[in-house]
Amino acid sequence: MKVVMVSKAFMRATYHRKLEEIARADDLDLTLITPVSWRDGKSLIRLERSRGQGYAVQVTPLVFNGAFHLHFYPRLAGLLRSLRPDVVHLDEEPYNLATWLGLRAARGVGARCLFFTWQDLYKRYPFPFSKFEADNYQAVQGAIAGIPDAQDVLRKKGFQRPIWVIPQFGTDPELFRPLERRAQGCYTIGYVGRLVHAKGIDLLLRAARMLPGTYRVLLVGSGEERAALEQLAVELGMSERVEFCGDLASHDVPGLLNQLDVLVLPSRTTPAWREQFGRVLIEAMACGVPVIGSSSGQIPYVIGTAGLIFREGDWSALAEHLRALQGDRELRRRLGEDGRQRVLENFTQRQIAAQTVAAYRALGATRP
């Protein structure tokens, strides 16, 4: 069975392990169609090449790069006519133009199709996105929802085809693993992700300011809030304790995580967004690093009992969790071990790939 995945989500080489695991299936011939880069806000994320085994990669132009709802692949129809796939996986939300155009190209070559969605908030979209969504519901034979809440939204909107609940990515526990930690000399708190208001990094700074003794905060990533966060660190009198690390290449992230005593994801829900998964949580957990997360969206589901949760927006509660870990090495060790075990049981790339292959096989047995 020939499978084509169309996705802009594989810019990071560490994500390619999912493709390798899918390609291990003897009955699948996998091709990834992807752009050379994706613009996320002010950041341009370039495709990191890897020596992925067992699958092919077709790099193709992207129009309106960075426009989440309106980007599309102008050469996709021609690529699909050349590849003649049995299954096409549009790794895009159903209300996006790329999905609408891509599914039409896929149906033009007789392929069976599915899309992917993280959308966990029930929303009504204006025209033309409402049309894209309605048409795409009819154009596919199934869908992958990254989380149970996204499945619920699809059903509430009347989607009647099969749905498989599978996270978009797991993590590679051979790459993200505990390493021998050098003595840091101080309690090290980390955040990895976009520097935007919804991620709640300001809450982390306010909470860390309440800690006794010696500590430092490493902020990894870029975004529109950086200048405001730098100013907040100055106002709180902790600028010497906060290090802005910028973006890291994906292969450098495991080493960074292994420098931390705790990773924090302090996301806050907004009218248009809530935390849909928080992939850095499972990466840190796989490294044996204890995690603290807010109650936003799916963070409690991802962490389970293998970390600490605080009510979103409550930086004083976050400070209490940070203080508890600061003073208790045994608690840090236990949560780190529990976190890695939770990843091994639920969130490896191999497990995610196996579930995805099962969806492809089921889809392959249906009529286009």
pLDDT in tens, 222-237: 999 999 999 999 999 9
CB 169 within 8 A of CB 7: no
Q: Which CATH number fits domain 2-170+348-364: 3.10.180.10, 3.40.50.2000, 3.40.30.10, 2.40.50.140?
A: 3.40.50.2000
Specify the amino acid at residue 44: L
171-188 residues labelled b (16+ CB within 10 A) or e (exposed): bbbebbebeeeeeeeebb
∠ Cα 173 29 88 (to 5°): 95
- How far is residue 179's CA from residue 288's CA, in Å, rounded to a whole number? 9
Q: Which two tokens stand for residue 143?
A: 């869908």
Q: Can you give the pTM of this predicted structure? A: 0.85
Where is average pLDDT lowest: 13-27, 170-184, 301-315, 351-365? 170-184
- Domain covering 187-346 in this structure, CATH number: 3.40.50.2000
Mean pLDDT for the stretch of residues 6-34: 93
Of 258, 117, 120, nearest to 177 (Cα)?
258
Alpha helices in the chain (DSSP H): 16-23, 76-83, 97-108, 129-139, 148-156, 201-208, 226-235, 253-257, 279-286, 299-303, 315-326, 329-346, 349-364
User: What pLDDT band is residue 101 in, cutting at 50, 70 and 90?
Assistant: very high
| pLDDT digits 0-9 by tens, 265-297 | 999 999 888 898 899 999 999 999 999 999 999
Mean pLDDT for the stretch of residues 102-112: 96
Question: Given a cut of 90, is residue 64 above it in pLDDT?
Answer: yes
Taken in order 84, 88, 90, 96, the sign of the CA dihedral is positive
User: What pLDDT band is residue 182 in, cutting at 50, 70 and 90?
Assistant: low
- How far is residue 15's CA from residue 32's CA, in Å, rounded to a whole number? 12
The Cβ-side half-sphere exposure at 260, using a 13 Å CA radius, reads 32
The contacts of residue 49 (CB under 8 Å, 6+ apart) are: 13
CB 65 within 8 A of CB 37: yes
The full length of the chain comes to: 368
Sequence ranges of the chain with CATH classification 3.40.50.2000: 2-170+348-364, 187-346
User: For the packed helices 315-326 and 329-346, what is the interaxial angle rounded to 10 degrees?
Assistant: 110
For 233-263, the DSSP string reads HHHTT-GGGEEEEE---GGGHHHHHTT-SEE
